Structure 1
């Protein structure tokens, strides 16, 4: 993958969108029970790996003001990176959503265990449920968007 001005600009826009969507619902995005709507756009990685840098950078920026500070910047960003890689490798959106939610539940569940001392399994399940719900919304949204040929040409080339 070659980086050019257009690709850098596209990833910058994706990073901004991820950040804004996260900050817009900050109380839900940073708590013990997470419902981070910005995770919907990780499905861009399902269609094209070239969007992974923007998604990961957006997550990192969005986690800077998190109440968990460096923990969220490290664990949250790492989780989004792994979810994006998994999304890209999967051939089925529903399986990708399930696996993405498992990754996020495990990593963020551990992060919340470190931060709040709540049992890991409880955190992992809560985060998994929230992430799965968001990613399933993403499946429905991207299924609908995939019917638009111009949109698909834009994100896949």
Structure 2
């Protein structure tokens, strides 16, 4: 295996592990119609490396598996994360737009998962607002703070040129 593949796999694995650990540590606020998933701050990482795309997706999936989530949650929650990560990566030339795809994808998908996987009775539009609000705080605010902090050390931490 060459160095580029090793770096990619290593970064993806570290991101997946971080996402999973953050969901588990903060599990009290990571689930339900009113959720504040701190791990969602990591959804800005596609700005720095394409390895974050499988990293956050696998982290989301592993979190669902470990916590005993419904199969619909495992599939569609992870799919929302994958779509958001790909779109965030595509927005990497517009730094402050990178958190928008995770906010929108989760605000749209998660309420339907809550309804059909867990039988949540709240109206879908209210869950879109509550999940969206949690995403604005976690992915939007915390994610942007993380993006700004990592942007100062990206030359040390992330080596995007290694993928070109």
TM class, shorter-length: 0.7 to 0.9
**Residue aligning to 2:48:** 47
2:48, 2:154 within 8 Å by CA — same for their partners in 1?
Answer: no
Runs (4+) of structure 1 moved beyond 3 Å? 65-68, 149-152
1:93-150: CA deviations, max 9, x gaps?
Answer: 4333233211110000111122213211011110001001111211122112212253
**Residue aligning to 1:108:** 110
The answer for unaligned runs of 5 or more in structure 1 is: none
> CA shift at 1:51, angstroms?
2.1
Q: 1:28 to 1:89 in 2, by over 3 A?
A: same
TM-score by length of 1: 0.88
1:133 counterpart (133, 137, 157): 137
Q: Which range moves more in the overlay, 139-148 or 10-19?
A: 139-148
**Residue aligning to 1:20:** 21
TM-score by length of 2: 0.84
**Residue aligning to 1:85:** 86
**Residue aligning to 1:122:** 126
Q: Report how many residues are paired.
A: 155
The whole-number CA distance in structure 2 between the counterparts of 1:16 and 1:117 is 32
Q: Which has the higher contact order (CA 8 A, sep 6+)?
A: 2
